[in-house]
Structure formats: C-alpha cells, structure tokens
C-alpha cells in the first residue's frame, strides 16, 4: 500500500473536522507577506523548525513568479519542489536482497519504535528470501526480550538471546558469530532505548560496536537510528550525539500514522544528509514503507495541522 | 572626576527621579526574541502566540530595575508568567476517596506509560504506604503485560495475574473484583499506547472510563514531543476526563516546550516529572525548572532576581534615610506603600518606621484595613507633583479633583492627609532624637492607628 493512501486513511479516521490545511493558505493568490506568514506558520507547526522555515521562506521570496505560477495549484508545486530538493537525494531503499552477510545495528532513544521496526523489517527481508537472524541486545528494559521474541515467533525469524541483565555487547557478539557461521544474509541487533545525553549508556553503545568489530571489521554495515515523528527539535540532538559514537548510516522515522508530520526530517536532512530508509505508519507488521520523497511530501502537505 | 560625581548623584536619586518603564516598542522587540525561544523549545505555535499576547500587557509599563537592561527585565517578566501558566500551585494526586482509588494511565505509543505506572505504584507504596494493585490493559503490544508484571515482581508491587485472550474491559472488571476482595487502597490501570486519531482505540478508552470510573486519568507524555503536543492533549481530553499529566524523559536534553503546550490547552496540572528509567525516578513537578528549560535564560533570570533583591534592600534604606532626615513627602510615602504591599501590607508600612518593632504587637492587634493601601496609592497618584511635595496647598477643590481621579471620596482623601500629618509629626520627633528617640515614644499614637482602620 502507498503511504499516501495509508495516511489519507488515517485522516479519514479523524473525528475532528479539520480545515483544509495547506490549501487554505494558497487560496489567496500572490505570495504576499501575509501568505508567506501563513506558510511560515504552517511549516513551524509541522516541526520543520525555525531556521529552515526562515530559509525556505527566503528562498521563495527571492524567486520571481508569474501570476500563473502563483495560482494555488502551482504555488503548491513551488513548495513541493522546495521540499523535494531537500529530500529526494536522501531516498534509499534497503529492503533488497543482500549479497553476503549484512549487519544492521538499530539504535535510538527510548520508545521510538526500534523493536517494532525490526519486527516489520525482518518480515520484509524474509519475504525477499533473505535469511535473517536478530539479536535481543536490549537486556535492560522489562520484557524487552520477550517483545522481540514474540515478533520473531510470529514471523518465523531466528533470534539469539540471553537472560535479562546480560551484557548487551555479548549478545551482539554471539548473534553476529552465529550469523557468520550459518550463512545468514542479515544480522539485525535490537538495542535498548537510550538518551543520547547519558554518558554511561552511550559508552555501552560504543562497546557493542567495538565488540562486533572483533568478529568483522566492517560490522555493523549499517547503523540505523529510529526517530519518533512526534519528537520535536530534539531529534537533531539525537542524531548529533549518536553520530558521534558511530557514524550513522541512515534513519527510519516511525509513527507517521498519527497527526505529527515529522517536519524535523527536513532540518535533519539539510544538516546531516543522512539517508532515509523507511517510515513507520502503524503497529502492524506491514506498516513499514520504503521512504519515497514524493509520497512523503504529498502526504505532508495534505495532512492538516 | 566630575563625571564620576554626577553619576553617583544621579544613581542616588534614580529611584525617585529616573524610573524607566517598559514601553510598547521595547515589549515588541523583546517578545520577538521570546517568540523565537519558545518555538525553538517546541512550544506549539498557537500556544506561543497566545502566550505572547497575554504577557505583553504585563510588560508594558513595568519598571526597569537599575543596572538591568529592558531586555533582561522582559525575560524576567516572561519567566514569571511561564511559571504562572505552568502552574505554580502544587497539585497532589486525588487520593481522598473511598478505597479503592482508581487511576487510569493513557497516552501515545512509547510515551512511558508502563514505566510511569510502576513508578507511581512504587511512590504510593513507599512514600504514602498505600497498598497498590497494577493491571495492564495492553493486549496489543507484544509482551506489554509481561513488562508490567516484571516491573511489579522486581519491585514488590502486586500485579493482576495475566490471562491470555481477555479483552481490556474484561481485565478491568477482573481487577476491580480482585481489589474488592483483597482490599488494596489503589488500583492503577496501564493501557495500550494509541494515536489520538485512531477512533476505534479512542472508543476503547471511553469504554474503559465508563467501566472503571477512575478518580484520576493521567496522560503520560514525552517531554521531547514537538508541535503535535496540542493535538495530542486536546484529543485525549475530548475523549476522556483527563485530570493530570506526567511528563517523561525529563532526564533528556529536550527543551520541554510540550509541557507548556499541554498545560495551556488542557488546564490539567502536571503532577509528576519522570526523570529516568529506574523505579524511583519520579519527581513532583517544579514549574520553575521547566520554565528555565523552555526559556533557556536561567542566568538572566537569576541576575534580575539578585538585582531586585539588592534593590529592595536599597530602597528600604533610602526610605529610612528620608524618614530620619524628616523629609516625608507623599512621594516617599508612595514608594513605601509600593514596597510594603510587596512585603507585608499595612502593618509592614508601620513597622518600617525605625525602632517600631517593639510596637509590633500593638499593630497586630489593631486590625488594619489592608485594602486601604490600594486606595491610598490611587489617591497619591492623582495628586500633582506640587501637591505631593507640599500637601498644605490641598484645599477643597483640589480634594474633590483628587477624590474623583482616584475613584475614592473626599473623606478618604481627608483621612490620608490627616494620616500623613500625624506620621510627619512622629517622624519629626524621631529625627530630632535619632533612632533612640523612639524609645521615648510610648508606642504608636492611638490616633494614627485608628486612622488606618
Ligand atoms: N502508531 C505507531 N506506533 C508505533 C510505530 N512504531 C512503533 N510503534 C509503537 O510504539 C511503541 C514503542 O515501540 P517499541 O518498538 O517498543 O519501541 P522501542 O524503541 O523498542 O522502545 P524501547 O526499547 O522501550 O526503547 C509500541 O507501542 C509500538 O507498538 C508506528 O509506526 N506507528
Ligand atoms: N530516559 C527515560 N526513559 C524512560 C522514561 N520513562 C520511560 N522510559 C523508557 O521509555 C521506553 C518506553 O516506555 P514504556 O513505559 O514501555 O512506554 P509505553 O509504551 O508508553 O508503555 C522504555 O524504554 C522506558 O524505559 C524516563 O522518564 N526517562
Ligand atoms: Mg525495544
Ligand atoms: Mg506500555
């Protein structure tokens, strides 16, 4: 299913009678200051953040538009293009079959959707005929192992786990070792949620990586951060700090099935140019979609504040 | 050298001669920066706009403290207003009911409901010695019920045994039955996370509310939430009768704008802050802490507070000085009234007089009318400068004008004039003999005291 459709469906579920969102703004004709002000408001309310909002507004101000270009539909196009220019270069699909073992380490702050995303991802990879094993390296949170185990059982995915409280680096090591020995295509490590400003937890994270490198210098091939769409500007700090521990390969944004628009993705992309792999649009196994900039922007502009 | 001297003289008089007040232009300029700070801290745009609108009149006309810039003064005023909106009054959980007290915990996916449920139970057991039962109604997320059970087992909190396949309403009934038998004081229901636009799941919540009839419904929200905070809080409040908010992940480096957004749109008190993943990391809410984060200008705020404190002291000393010199104009009195309204009302005004502390008892027993201060302030403000310096010139027609201008009546004006005269006399006696002279005075003249009633 297309994300756009999924999100529109989400909107239909809405009990509240929303206005027309972006369409209201562009009914007015020229990009007068008033329109630009409304546009700025729209962008800020979408979590794009102040600096980038001002930059985009300035871009639009600097361009000269004919009357025709300024009619509602075309102006929407202008904005769409501004956004696509930022987002299209970071589209990247990781759902393909891999040649040889690929290791994916999943990280992020608490409760963003790491475990669920891994559950969904495994299913997609398995459907693409990949042989997948996951490591339950969140040994800290209560019943985190059972949560991942549950996903794996439902989708017949192999899992490597230890007792609660075990060393997460040891679990990652064991999983990768097993993956190597048994010719898996994917080795995916779930980690405990950790706030990026906690030194001890970030040290623990860097130890997981260090230990994985003992088996394979190139591991992990991908370090993916999972972001929650409802998060505001703090997402930028999250990227900054996790990136310091281990160069992030890309990101996945979850919970886009809610009303949050995840506009912070634009600021993140501006600054870090991180590939965006996928978006989460629900809690079910098939609610993970590859990130397609065009669809994202379309849904973004259609979604109401 | 001369410049130095002029500076000194100027600053010595500045309280009375050079009070600067914030004007609209300064307010607008300052508020532009505040707006930016609020938005960068993730305060929702609509809430930011409303806040700016509401705080503006509180800025215009405010006195700028000496050695503080208008911008710094504005930050201090905004900070106070933030604390005010966030809720300065402490608000406890509603536990004063016939047991079992029922608490329902709701919120988005991953906001911290389950962890907060356990923390709350732990707090109630440890700090308030309540017996608590926890129940998970999250049948959707894999291992969600186990998560609560593990937290219960690890921390000696009772949980309702898990029965696979039961629906949330059935489980809640079972929990209510269980507590009616085993007699816990509090039962806390943890629910599945849900997006507020998922109608089916929101219906379930409504149903649970009807079934359980909770005394408290707590929204658990992530303090890192962005602009969507208003939608989330509003929709949850529309569906169920929210009574409080817990903000989680305060241990992060988020600016916490969601706190203001949610408090502003729901009016629900924020009762706790969750500050970590461990069971005891739950704190009662401190608005100043959050205000400080949102504004991010703690240094300026404490600077202004320090200066204000020093100034208070300086002003008091200056007034004492004036009094000792025997110069007791209405301007001095006006300053005094304003000071004293802050410090202690009418009895404060009197205890200001040097050495009066021994008369404290007499003052306390005399039932002064505190609202008098406001009226007197208005009357003095309606006087011209000349009248203030030299009250003798205030005759019948001037009295009428002053009474009209201050919204009082002539008898009130007379009363104040009489009081001023009596106080001047007391001052004169005192100034002749210095501080010691008051010892000779046998308490406050009864006339003066009566005049203040
Ligand atoms: N609506 C919605 N919910 C999601 C999505 N992804 C995950 N969730 C939910 O968010 C909650 C937290 O997800 P988890 O997968 O446990 O998150 P986590 O990052 O592993 O959490 P911790 O390990 O506790 O830090 C769960 O209730 C998930 O069902 C999504 O795309 N949309
Ligand atoms: N750092 C931090 N983590 C928290 C806090 N509260 C909850 N968490 C974590 O957030 C994640 C989700 O919490 P959980 O209680 O399962 O959320 P729920 O899905 O709303 O029930 C878990 O990893 C918790 O350990 C907090 O105050 N600070
Ligand atoms: Mg997890
Ligand atoms: Mg939970």
Helix (H, G, I), strand (E, B), or coil: what is residue B105? strand
Q: Write down the pLDDT at residue B65.
A: 81
Out of A112, A144, A233, the one facing B40 most closely (by C-beta) is A233
Q: What angle do CA B327, B330, B333 make, to 5 degrees?
A: 85
Q: Determine the distance separating the centroid of ligand 2 and the alpha carbon of A173, expressed in angstroms.
A: 26
Atom of ligand 2 nearest to the CA of B273: 27
Q: How far apart are CA B338 and CA A208, in angstroms?
A: 64
Q: Which residue of A has its CA nearest to B37?
A: A50
pLDDT mean over B226-230: 97
Question: Two tokens at B351?
Answer: 């205890």
**A286-300, B204-218, B267-281, B299-313: which range is least confident on average?**
B299-313
Q: Tokens standing for A74?
A: 């075309």
Q: What is the SS3 string spanning chain A? A: CCHHHHHHHHHHCCCCCCCCCHHHHHCCCCCCHHHHHHHHHHHHCCCCCHHHHHHHHHHHHHCCCCHHHHCHHHHHHHHHHHHHHHHHHHECCCCCCCCCCEEEEEECCCCCCHHHHHHHHHHHHHHCCCCEEEEEECCCCCCHHHHHHHHHHHCCCEEECCCCCCCHHHHHHHHHHHHHHCCCCEEEEEECCCCCCCHHHHHHHHHHHHHHHHHCCCCCCEEEEEEECCECCHHHHHHHHHHHHCCCCEEEEECCCCCCCCCHHHHHHHHHCCCEEEEECCCCCCCEEECCHHHHHHHHHHCCC
Nearest CA to ligand 2 atom 7: B112
Q: Which atom of ligand 1 is found nearest the CA of A138?
A: 23
Q: How far apart are CA A51 and CA B40, in angstroms?
A: 9
User: Does residue B49 or residue B381 have the better pLDDT?
Assistant: B49
- The residue ranking higher by pLDDT, A191 or B19, is A191
Q: Which residues of A touch B35 (CB under 8 A)?
A: none
Q: Identify the H or E element spanning B148.
A: helix B144-154
> Is pLDDT above 90 for B300?
no
The shortest C-alpha distance from A295 to chain B (Å) reads 21
Residues of chain A positioned with their CB less than 8 A from the CB of B150: 142-143, 164
Q: Which residue has the tokens 């459709």?
A: A5
Residues of B in contact with A233 (CB under 8 A): 40-42, 226, 255
Q: Which positions 227-246 of A are in contact with B (Cβ < 8 Å)?
A: 228, 230-234, 237
Task: Note whether A106 and A194 are within 8 A (CB).
Answer: no
Comparing CA positions, the residue from B270, B274, B272, B269 lying closest to residue B254 is B274
pLDDT in tens, A242-256: 999 999 999 999 999
Q: Is the CB of B276 under 6 A from ligand 2?
A: yes
B270-305 core/surface letters (b: 16 or more CB in 10 A; e: else): bbbbbbbbebebbeebebebbbbbbbebeebbebbe
Q: Do A232 and B254 touch (CB under 8 A)?
A: yes
A143 touches chain B (CB under 8 A): yes
Q: How far is the CA of B141 from the centre of ligand 1 (A)?
A: 9
User: How do A222-228 and A132-137 pair as beta strands?
Assistant: unpaired
How do strand A186-191 and strand B282-284 relate by DSSP bridges? unpaired
Contacts of B235 in chain A (CB under 8 A): 15-16
Q: C-alpha distances in angstroms, B264 versus B58, B87, B234?
A: 18, 10, 10
Q: Is the pLDDT of residue B61 over 50?
A: yes
The confidence band for B67, taking pLDDT boundaries of 50, 70 and 90, is confident
**Got the DSSP string for B316-344?**
HHHHHHHHHHT---HHHHHHHHHHHHHHT
Partners of B200 on chain A (C-beta within 8 Å) are 13
Instruction: Give per-residue pLDDT as tens, A85-140.
Output: 999 999 999 887 777 899 999 999 999 999 999 999 999 999 999 999 999 999 99
Rounded mean pLDDT, B313-334: 72
* Subunit contact B195:A258, Cβ cutoff 8 A: yes
Structure tokens at A222: 């991908």
What is the tens place of the pLDDT at every residue in B13-26? 344 334 588 999 99
Asked if A13 lies within 8 A of B197 by C-beta distance, the reply is: yes
If pLDDT is split at 50, 70 and 90, which confidence band does B426 have?
A: confident
B111-167 pLDDT, tens digit per residue, is 999 999 999 999 999 999 999 999 999 999 999 999 999 999 999 999 999 999 999
pTM: 0.79
**Side-chain half-sphere exposure of B156, counting CA atoms within 13 A:** 7
**Cα(A113) to centroid of ligand 3, in Å?**
7
Ligand 2, atom 25, residue with closest C-alpha: B277
Residue B450: Cβ-neighbour burial (10 angstroms; 0-12, 13-18, 19+) = exposed
- The percentage of residues in chain A with a pLDDT greater than 90, rounded to a whole number, is 72
Contact B111 CB / ligand 2 (< 6 Å):
yes
Reported confidence tier of residue A34, pLDDT bands at 50, 70, 90: confident
Nearest residue of chain B to residue A112 (CA atoms): B110
Task: Please indicate whether, in this complex, the C-beta atoms of A231 and B222 are within 8 angstroms of each other.
Answer: yes
Residues in A touching B45 (Cβ below 8 Å)? 41, 44-45
pLDDT score at B440: 42
The CA-based dihedral angle spanning residues B34, B35, B36, B39, taken in that order and rounded to the nearest 10 degrees: 120
Q: Report yes or no: A120 at the B interface, CB cutoff 8 Å.
A: no
Give the β-pairing of B244-248 and B270-274. parallel
Please check whether residue A91 is in contact with residue A276, taking contact to mean a CB–CB distance below 8 angstroms.
Answer: yes
What's the pLDDT score for residue A17? 29
Nearest by CB to residue A255, choosing from B109, B149, B227, is: B109
Buried/exposed A59-84: b ≥16 CB within 10 Å, e otherwise? ebeeeeeeeeebeeeebbebbbebbb
To test the ligand 2 pocket, which listed residue (B105, B112, B113) has its Cβ within 8 A of the most ligand atoms?
B112
Task: Report the interhelical angle of B298-325 vs B287-295 (nearest 10°).
Answer: 110
Say yes or no: CB of residue A284 within 6 Å of ligand 1: no
- Stated as kind and residue range, the H or E segment containing B189 is strand B186-190
> Which band of pLDDT confidence, cut at 50, 70 and 90, is reported for residue A51?
very high
Cα separation of A74 and A86, whole Å? Answer: 19
- Could you tell me the two tokens for A194? 């950790």
Residues whose CB falls within 8 Å of the CB of residue B413, separated by 6 or more in sequence, listed in order: B379, B394, B399, B402, B403, B406
- The residues pairing with B283 across neighbouring beta strands, listed in sequence order, are B273
pLDDT of residue A158: 98
Distance CA B414, CA B451 (A): 10
Of chain B, the percentage scoring pLDDT greater than 90 comes to 56
A287 and A280 Cβ atoms separated by less than 8 Å:
yes
Instruction: Say how many Å lie between the CA of residue A296 and the centre of ligand 2.
Output: 28
Q: Name which of B159, B158, B74, B148 is nearest B116 in CA terms.
A: B148
pLDDT at residue B318 is higher than 90 = no
């Amino acid at each position: 299913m297309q994300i756009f459709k999924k999100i529109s469906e989400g909107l239909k579920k809405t009990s509240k009678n929303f206005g027309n969102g972006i369409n209201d703004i562009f009914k007015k004709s020229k990009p007068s200051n008033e329109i630009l002000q409304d546009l700025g408001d729209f962008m800020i309310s979408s979590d794009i953040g102040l600096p980038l909002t001002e930059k985009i507004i300035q871009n639009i101000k600097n361009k000269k538009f004919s009357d025709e270009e300024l009619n509602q539909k075309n102006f929407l196009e202008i904005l769409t293009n501004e956004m696509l220019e930022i987002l299209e270069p970071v589209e990247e699909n990781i759902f393909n079959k891999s040649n040889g073992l690929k290791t994916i380490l999943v990280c992020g702050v608490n409760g963003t959707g790491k475990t669920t995303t891994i559950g969904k991802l495994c299913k997609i990879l398995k459907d693409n005929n990949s042989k997948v094993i996951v490591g339950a390296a969140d040994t800290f949170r209560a019943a985190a192992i059972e949560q991942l185990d549950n996903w794996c059982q439902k989708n017949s995915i192999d899992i490597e786990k230890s007792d609660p409280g075990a060393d997460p680096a040891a679990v990652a090591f064991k999983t990768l070792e097993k993956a190597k020995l048994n010719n898996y295509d994917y080795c995916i490590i779930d980690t405990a949620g950790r706030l990026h400003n906690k030194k001890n937890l970030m040290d623990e994270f860097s130890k997981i990586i260090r230990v994985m490198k003992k088996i394979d210098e190139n591991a992990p091939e991908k370090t993916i951060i999972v972001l929650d769409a409802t998060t505001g500007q703090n997402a930028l700090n999250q990227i900054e700090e996790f990136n310091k521990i281990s160069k992030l390969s890309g990101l996945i944004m979850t919970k886009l099935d809610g009303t949050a628009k995840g506009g912070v993705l634009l600021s993140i992309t501006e600054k870090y140019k991180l590939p965006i792999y996928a978006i989460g649009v629900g809690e079910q196994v098939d609610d993970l979609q590859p990130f397609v900039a065009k669809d994202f922007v379309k849904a973004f502009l259609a979604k109401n504040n | 050298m001369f410049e130095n001297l002029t500076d000194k003289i100027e600053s010595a008089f500045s309280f009375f001669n050079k009070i600067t007040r914030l004007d609209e232009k300064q307010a607008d300029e300052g508020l532009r920066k505040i707006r930016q700070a609020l938005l960068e801290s993730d305060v929702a745009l609509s809430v930011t706009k409303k806040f700016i609108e509401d705080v503006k009149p509180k800025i215009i006309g405010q006195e700028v403290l000496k050695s503080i810039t208008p911008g710094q003064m504005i930050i201090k005023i905004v900070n106070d207003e933030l604390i005010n909106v966030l809720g300065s009054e402490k608000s406890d959980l509603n536990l004063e009911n016939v047991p079992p007290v029922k608490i329902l915990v709701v919120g988005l996916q991953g906001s911290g409901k389950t962890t907060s449920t356990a923390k709350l139970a732990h707090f109630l057991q440890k700090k308030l010695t309540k017996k608590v039962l926890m129940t998970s109604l999250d049948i959707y997320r894999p291992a969600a019920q186990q998560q609560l059970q593990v937290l219960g087992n690890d921390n000696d909190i009772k949980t309702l045994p898990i029965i696979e396949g039961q629906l949330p309403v059935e489980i809640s009934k079972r929990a209510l039955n269980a507590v009616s038998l085993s007699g816990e004081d509090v039962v806390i229901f943890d629910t599945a996370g849900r997006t507020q636009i998922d109608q089916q799941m929101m219906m379930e919540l409504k149903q649970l509310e009807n079934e359980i009839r909770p005394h408290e419904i707590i929204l658990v929200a992530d303090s890192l939430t962005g602009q969507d905070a208003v939608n989330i809080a509003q929709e949850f409040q529309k569906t169920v009768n929210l009574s409080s908010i817990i903000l989680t992940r305060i241990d992060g480096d988020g600016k916490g704008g969601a706190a203001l957004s949610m408090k502003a749109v729901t009016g629900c008190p924020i009762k706790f802050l969750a500050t970590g993943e461990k069971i005891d990391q739950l704190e009662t809410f401190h608005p100043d802490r959050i205000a400080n984060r949102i504004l991010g200008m703690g240094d300026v705020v404490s600077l202004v507070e320090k200066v204000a404190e020093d100034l208070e002291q300086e002003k008091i000393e200056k007034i004492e000085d004036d009094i000792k010199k025997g110069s007791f104009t209405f301007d001095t009195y006006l300053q005094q009234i304003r000071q004293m309204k802050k410090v202690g009302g009418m009895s404060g005004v009197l205890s200001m007089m040097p050495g009066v502390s021994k008369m404290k008892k007499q003052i306390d027993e005399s039932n002064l009318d505190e609202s008098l201060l406001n009226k007197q302030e208005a009357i003095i403000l309606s006087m011209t400068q000349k009248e203030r310096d030299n009250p003798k010139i205030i005759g019948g027609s001037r009295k009428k004008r002053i009474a009209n201008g201050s919204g009082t009546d002539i008898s009130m004006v007379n009363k104040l004039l009489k009081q001023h005269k009596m106080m001047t006399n007391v001052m004169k006696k005192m100034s002749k003999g210095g501080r010691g002279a008051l010892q000779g005075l046998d308490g406050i003249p009864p006339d003066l005291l009566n005049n203040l009633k």
